[in-house]
A = this chain, B = another copy of it.
């Protein structure tokens, strides 16, 4: 791809390279890497990458970019799934990976303050001796800044909520280079508009996050995981629905269909029974964990579930959940030279079984390979569509299937994205989902970023 430098971008980058000697990189390899995420969408390389070391670096860089109307694209680990990091209009990528300090852990308040480049596994390793942990776990070892920006969640959301529920406050550099703090460290507040929530899921389009105050949780006294297979996906989903409806405070309840299980067996060297499967985890006191798991065990047997296979040993649990987290990579390994097109609908749980059933029929009719896996406790499931990017007919069939899936979810009062976000991949779906609300988003974007320099072309198009 030949790069097209807007003349003012060139001036901007020259100015930045004077200010940030050694931190600004314009090599093609580095730029290409920073315009690429783990999605199926086309990459777009930025014109330069700034490895920011501090909030001051961010403030100075954004201020200069604002002067030249040069786009600013934040980058954490590049594991986003809707083209969030693509520099659609060129510009400067601000890589936050050097801003990876855990600034404070307030053990008595069960919160911590981190820089955006801290990764979720790094945080939990750091916390280990405190008896606290941070539960949100997207598949990848993502950065906390990226997780805030995409309103990420993962396998624990059914118990601990999503990023929306676990950020107390943010420090944000706005499009004019100004720095704000969205809230205090108190557990709750009714102080004005909820700017914290507004920035969570804004994908860097309203500002660049430079500090995050997160809620933490006590590591449960007891944890046990169980695996249970079912005759059909519907039985597994119905077990999930019953579990949630009975108010069991289950920590994780994850569905994988038979194809996903095969993929994971092959990729992670496991020997799980190849059938629709629920992976579950229970957190609490020893007594409570036992009570919960017995209750769900009984429930699942009513839906034809197998005997529970227990894993209480920490290493076994880790292996099991690592396999679950690697499921996307496992799906990709099912066919050579293929890419994964990941879908992400979320529906009210009462509609989940029907939505998955119709979707599986659609997959079969479309002659596509698409393992189903999901955070079924929240009504959220993914297809890992395994697609040969060089087979245009297959790509089209996959895209068409995806559209039908989103429309099906919308008809069921669901959303096009439970946790991946909009990026530039789902802008049309967002319009279909929320209609005139996107005009409100546009007004907010224009008021906070009148030059449209903060990650332009993501979440909403401004032309409409």
Contact = CB atoms under 8 A, between A and B. Distances in A.
A244 B187 CA distance: 12
B418 A188 contact: yes
Nearest to A290: B287
A72 to B, nearest CB: 17
Contacts of A181: 434-435, 437
Interface in A213-246: 217-218, 220-221, 241, 244-246
Interface string A187-222: 111111111011011100010000000000110110
A115 interface: no
Contact of A379 (B179, B187, B287): B187
B446 A108 contact: no
A404 interface: no
B444 A193 contact: yes
A287 to B, nearest CB: 6
Contact residue range for chain A? 35 or more
Contacts of A396: none
Nearest to A151: B190
Interface in A409-464: 410, 413-422, 426, 430, 433-438, 440-441, 443-444, 446-448, 459-460
B186 A379 contact: yes
A380 B188 CA distance: 8
Interface string A344-356: 1011111000000
A153 interface: yes
A198 B188 contact: no
A420 B188 CA distance: 11
Contact of A186 (B182, B241, B413): B413
A245 to B, nearest CB: 7
A249 interface: yes
Interface in A237-285: 241, 244-247, 249, 284-285
A434 B170 CA distance: 12
A143 interface: no
Q: Main SS of chain A's interface residues?
A: loop
A15 interface: no
Given A181-B434, A195-B441, A437-B195, A418 B287 contact: no
A415 B161 contact: no
B188 A419 contact: yes
Nearest to A161: B165
A346 B346 CA distance: 35
A195 B109 contact: no
A415 B350 contact: no
Nearest to A221: B247
B245 A347 contact: no
29 contacts: A108-B245, A111-B348, A152-B190, A161-B165, A180-B435, A181-B434, A184-B415, A185-B413, A186-B346, A188-B378, A188-B418, A190-B418, A190-B421, A190-B422, A191-B433, A191-B434, A192-B201, A192-B441, A192-B459, A193-B202, A194-B194, A194-B197, A198-B198, A218-B245, A221-B247, A287-B287, A287-B291, A288-B291, A440-B448
Which 7 pairs of residues, A with B, have the shortest CB-CB distance?
A: A197-B197, A218-B247, A447-B447, A108-B350, A189-B415, A185-B413, A186-B346
Interface of A: 106, 108-111, 150-153, 157, 161-162, 164-165, 174, 178-195, 197-198, 200-202, 206, 217-218, 220-221, 241, 244-247, 249, 284-285, 287-288, 291, 344, 346-350, 378-380, 410, 413-422, 426, 430, 433-438, 440-441, 443-444, 446-448, 459-460
Given A187-B378, A218-B247, 10 more contacts: A151-B190, A152-B190, A180-B434, A184-B415, A189-B415, A190-B201, A191-B430, A194-B200, A218-B246, A284-B288
